[in-house]
Structure 1
Amino acid sequence: MATQPELPDASRTDEGQYTWNRDAATRCLDGSPFDTELGLRMSRDAIRVANGVLDEDVFQSKYHEAVVAEFGEDNRPSKQENFDDE
């Protein structure tokens, strides 16, 4: 199993972590029929959630409408109350 190299000191910030991973994420998303920019925006904020800078509930509600518009439903594992897609 391949491991990622250790983050350089400048990449220890939320933005640094995003930038460090952006090229690999872009390559993965380029072959997808889905919105690459949405994926990149969500990945940036997911790093912020993981680092405790952004609340997960805020993240979920921030992207709910965009996820429904892109995929027709929001099947992410932690759905918000009062978001009924049915």
Structure 2
Amino acid sequence: MKSNYAFLNDHFPVLAGMGSLAEDYLYTDGNSCLIKLGLYAETMVNLMMEFDGVAPPAVDNTHANRIRALKREGLISPRCQAH
């Protein structure tokens, strides 16, 4: 079966691979699936920062703070933000 993440192969093969692995683990190892999805999210945020030229936080460089930096730059749509 073709992965739901296959469309990323041309430009973001790392994301395609992580997404595909998460799918592989979905029904056999839920913990590994969640770990892969977490890595996918972290990698996606890091790629966004790199491509958009946003510097990572100098202090407390956590995933949450990197997301906040992208929000401050207006790179995450308001409709995608939690309230």
Q: TM-score, normalised by structure 1?
A: 0.38
> Greater relative contact order (Cα 8 A, min sep 6): structure 1 or 2?
1
Question: Structure 2 length as normaliser, TM-score?
Answer: 0.39
